[in-house]
Amino acid sequence: MNEQTIDFHVEPDELLLIEQIVVRYVQLGKIHNVNVAPIETMMDVVFTHTKNYKLNLHAILLTSDHDFLTEIAGIVRNMDRTTGLLKTGYQPSHRAC
């Protein structure tokens, strides 16, 4: 059996922000009648933050609903869950400097 271990680490303060992002995404999904998978969304944001681009998590939370949905939906849509990497060419808007 060939298992691949996924290693990622987020700081406690980052995890709190990611949880807030997921909660907001789920709430907006309900408002717009879109089914959101919270666990997958959390994994996608964590993978983006740890394996792709450091995200400015606080800035994401402060954006308008439209920009927030565009950012998180883009991450979810472009995540390759077999590798934990974003598809070629996609870059989130709120990357940390």
Alpha carbon distance 37, 54 (integer Å): 22
| Contacts of 15 by beta carbon, 8 Å cutoff, 6+ apart | none
Quote the pLDDT of residue 1.
45
Q: By C-alpha distance, which of 41, 55, 68, 53 is closest to 94? A: 55
Render pLDDT for 54-87 as a digit per residue (tens, 0 to 9): 999 999 999 999 999 999 999 999 999 998 899 9
CA dihedral 22, 70, 64, 40 (to 10 degrees): 0
What is the pLDDT of the chain when averaged over all its residues? Answer: 91
Q: Give percent of the chain above pLDDT 90.
A: 81
Q: What pLDDT does residue 89 have?
A: 87
pTM beyond 0.95: no
